[in-house]
A = this chain, B = another copy of it.
Amino acid sequence: MREFSFSVKATDGAARLGACHTPHGVFHTPAFMPVGTQGTVKALRHPDLEDAGAEIMLANTYHLLLRPGDELIARRGGLHQFIGWRRPILTDSGGYQVFSLAHRRVITEEGADFCSHLDGTRQLLTPERATDVQARLGSDIAMVLDECLAFPATHDDAAISMRRSVRWAARARRRMLELRGGAGSGVAVCNPGQAQFGIVQGGVFPDLRAESADSTVEIGFEGYAIGGLSVGEPNEQMYAIAQQVAGRLPPEQPRYLMGAGTPDDLVECVARGIDMFDCVMPTRNARNGQLFTSQGRVNIRNARYAEDDRPLDPACRCYTCLHHSRAYLRHLFMAGEMTAGTLNTLHNLSFYLDTMRRIRDAIAFRTFDNFRQEFLLSASRLSLDS
């Protein structure tokens, strides 16, 4: 079993080119992790994901815990075995979904008490349980349970919440070390090489972010995430916090900005030292007909595409763009065909993953700042619809 390790291969300003070794192989950073909530990226088969350039997939602990259950997955040998994906997997802690999906949640020092959105069954997700569940899933990177505060929050609320998240992080880490030491009280550890990342919270308050970063680093993890951003705050605030926190984290370890973002966000946050990203935007928007192209955004419902025989994005080499026209994609979408979801998802993920590849190339050639300026000046944020 290979161990988890991370190395920075090159830098260009604050942007870093790196490689993250995991028990299931390497992924290169800056990396975008497609979201495979329930063990599949919606509407895609795993090879489609690999063809699009995905080196790591994210899966959701909350969903898998409730269905089909972490014990069932552990009996299959872990999530990789169960879903048939051989590359790295990162699992979130379930915290975000407890706050966004679960019913009747009550947060105490012990953990998050909630009712399943599926069948109402009562669940208690503690830092220890989130760690155990992810040990059973056997992901390559596990996240600590944190409290996700709604935006906006007062400084006081953010401080109380952040400090509880730090205490939870310490408990999660303690549990992780117990599991590694074989003191897991019978918890199946499906991936002994699993890494654990801490999460920096603190809302939009620099003093709290600093305190959270320092306390989390003091606990000590294999990598660090920045949580609680991309939740409605202005872009510039997100970028500023990402920059501040990234600068405070150990340079030899990976930095993951959770839940971001638009293509612009990726470029801007790489420029501020972020190594890893995940976001439902490319996949969810694809299913809603919102497509990213090098020439601008496309809402494929728009009547202007009904007789448009051009590929969605002439600059894109994905299956969808090589084989189909905007007219056909619009038809499939308007007709409610599942194939529309597949073709659109393939494209949007290809656009995101191709952007990451271009980012990595630019850092390697130390031309990242040029790339960034061109990217932000390009038409990619415009709407092609009007």
Chain A positions near chain B (C-beta within 8 angstroms):
38-46, 63, 67-68, 72, 75-76, 82-84, 306-307, 309, 319, 323-325, 327-328, 330-332, 334-335, 337-339, 341-343
Contact = CB atoms under 8 A, between A and B. Distances in A.
Contact of A331 (B45, B68, B307, B319): B68
Given A45-B319, A319-B45, A338-B341, A40 B327 contact: no
State the oligomeric state as a number of copies: 2
A82 B328 contact: yes
Contacts of A75: 307
A63 B336 CA distance: 12
A68 to B, nearest CB: 5
Given A43-B339, A342-B43, A83 B328 contact: yes
A306 to B, nearest CB: 7
A110 to B, nearest CB: 29
A377 to B, nearest CB: 34
14 contacts: A38-B332, A38-B335, A38-B337, A39-B328, A43-B342, A46-B323, A68-B334, A75-B307, A76-B309, A76-B327, A84-B325, A338-B338, A338-B341, A342-B342
Cβ-closest 9 pairs across A and B? A40-B339, A43-B338, A38-B335, A68-B331, A84-B323, A84-B324, A40-B337, A42-B338, A338-B338
A185 to B, nearest CB: 23
A76 B307 contact: yes
Given A67-B334, A323-B84, A343 B45 contact: yes
Contacts of A39: 328, 331-332, 335
A337 B39 CA distance: 9
B82 A325 contact: yes
A344 B312 CA distance: 28
A10 to B, nearest CB: 36
Given A68-B334, A76-B307, 17 more contacts: A38-B331, A38-B332, A38-B335, A41-B339, A42-B339, A43-B342, A45-B319, A46-B323, A67-B331, A68-B306, A68-B327, A82-B325, A83-B328, A84-B324, A84-B325, A338-B341, A342-B342
Contact of A327 (B42, B82, B324): B82
